[in-house]
Chains A and B, each alone.
Chain A
Amino acid sequence: MAEPGGKETSFEIRFSDHHFTPQTLVVPAGQPLVLTVVNSSHERIEFESFKLNREKVVGPGETIKVRLPALPAGTYDFFDDFHPDVAEGEIVAK
């Protein structure tokens, strides 16, 4: 079982003012990751990534964690499935 805070490297993505920050998140390839998704807006969002096969609802003011396996080098999408007008972000593993 993967232990939180063990060999995983943590990164934060914040949603506020109807957009994600950072829009492009650069992470190391080949290492398990934990994304902390902070919704500091007043909107409910669904943090989703098609390529990474992840989706989770994040209420206003809520914080969630998304665990990812070691990623091969590449670009992976993420978006708010509740709001198609919110610009998609990307995770770049290199």
Chain B
Amino acid sequence: MRPCPCSHAFLCVAAFCSLGALRCAAQVDPWEFEVYPYSTTPRGMAEFETDNSVVTSGHDEGGEGTAAGTIRSQGMWSNAYEFSYGLTDRIEGAIYLNMAQPDGGGLRWAGDNIRLRGRLFDQGVLPVDVGWYAELEWHKTPQFDDAMRELEFRPILEKDVGAFSILVNPKFEKVLAGVGHDQGFEFGYDAGIHYRWTRALSPGLELYGGAGLVDQLGPLNGQQHYVFPVVWGELPHGLEYNFGAGYGLTHGSDRVIVKSNLELERFVGALFKASADSGWFF
């Protein structure tokens, strides 16, 4: 695959973000093309979400592009079904079911995740809003991912500038069991700029990448970096969407991925009262 000339600027940004932490065929999670904002699921709310992606132009061998297992990425559908609950005004919990459908095959289980995500202080207290994310992922499906258990941490950073929201999620992932368990942390990123135009329809630009091991350099062209122009908004009955097409910027990336995320929030009952205004964690 040949990256287009306009991708060079993105590669420079990606290289800067990588801070020298590189490994070929670094993992990008095809079940979660979503950039997390600072805000969490509101207290007492349940959120049902499905994140879907399909590689319309990918690689023909396993272990390349977004395929972390033995099955090739070309034609692969990835479907994540997520349930989140707002525990407090600042912390949410979530569980995921990940499914995959290889090109010409049926839908199969590909793993599960649990995670906690939170925000520190109230929005607007710090110059940049800061949140956190901790996730445990497990699967015994080497055809989709040769790691069996993984732990992931992210700081979540958000800054609103007028009608723009700038979101950055650096990702640090450690394989606990399976291939790579004896290695250190992998580094990746999700980032985005969202413009608030109307509630029904707004544009955005999202970036996703996997750079490799934090302590091991690798060639930039072997990493994965994607740019996704997206549209997002809210449909009737509170159904929120985020649709986009992602373009790989390096040889190690799949060439084109299409994503569609849908979510619906409903109040189901709060366990706790409003968080203290002077608090910063709970």
Contact = CB atoms under 8 A, between A and B. Distances in A.
Contacts of A29: none
B125 A67 contact: yes
B72 to A, nearest CB: 40
B196 A53 contact: yes
Interface size class of A (residues with CB under 8 A): 20 to 34
A7 interface: no
A4 B165 CA distance: 23
B242 to A, nearest CB: 15
Contact of A62 (B124, B160, B273): B273
Interface residue SS majority, chain B: loop
B204 to A, nearest CB: 13
Contact of A56 (B42, B127, B162, B199): B42
A44 B267 contact: yes
Given A57-B43, A57-B44, A58-B274, 10 more contacts: A1-B125, A1-B126, A4-B278, A44-B267, A50-B199, A53-B196, A57-B42, A57-B86, A62-B274, A67-B123
Contacts of A54: 123
B122 interface: yes
Of B45, B122, B199, which is in contact with the most chain A CB atoms at under 10 Å from its CB? B122
Given A4-B277, A51-B163, A64-B274, A69 B124 contact: yes
A82 B267 contact: yes
Contacts of B274: 57-59, 62-64
A69 B129 CA distance: 12
